[in-house]
Amino acid sequence: MVAEAEPGPSIVERAVAGDEVAFARIVAAHHDDLARIAFFVSGDLDIAEEAEQAAWAVAYRRLKDLRDPDRLRAWLMSIAANEARQIGRSRRRRTVRELAVADRTPRADVDHAAMIDLANAVARLDDRDRAIVGLRFIGGFDAAEIGRELGMSATGVRVRLHRLLERLRKDLGDD
């Protein structure tokens, strides 16, 4: 059986009241989104995993402050992006990186060259821009929703996204 998303007010209220099963359902429903945005912002699987774990703790603590349950998905993703950014910054200060040797078998159906190009292009963006692009293309949110989560105006997000996409289009050679 697969856990289904139940983003309605009832499940949020139950989670706020301390129902661990309700919160587990929120976790199951939004795990993929949080993992994706954390990885997109950090570019590192370990950081993404740590960021998601930290994000759930923050989310539970602040869940009672979420006034509009319809915002739950965007709110959770912005927390994960924030955690990934902060953990990534602290990790970059270290001089030793963990080695990953033959960790996974390459998938035949994935264009690895394209993935490397994308990873490099994304890595050249700053943390804030990666969060904007991630919320747009992983979360599918519009400028107003992104702006609400990031504390920016919708117009500001729109302009920023336009410039970022131009830059990414150029970096990826997609003219």
- Number of residues in contact with other proteins under rule CB under 8 A: 77
Q: What are the angstrom distances between the C-alpha of 13 and each of 9, 69, 79, 137?
A: 6, 9, 19, 29
3-class secondary-structure state, position 95:
coil
Residue 37, exposed/middle/buried by CB under 10 A (0-12, 13-18, 19+)?
buried
Task: Establish if 31 lies at the interface with other proteins (CB under 8 A).
Answer: yes
Residues in region 140-159 near other proteins by CB under 8 A: 140-143, 149-151
8 A C-beta contact, residue 42 and residue 84: yes
Task: Establish if 99 lies at the interface with other proteins (CB under 8 A).
Answer: yes
Of the candidate residues 11, 12, 39, 88, the single one contacting other proteins (CB under 8 A): 39
Residue whose CB is less far from other proteins, 102 or 108: 102
Of the candidate residues 8, 10, 57, 155, the single one contacting other proteins (CB under 8 A): 57
Task: Establish if 114 lies at the interface with other proteins (CB under 8 A).
Answer: yes
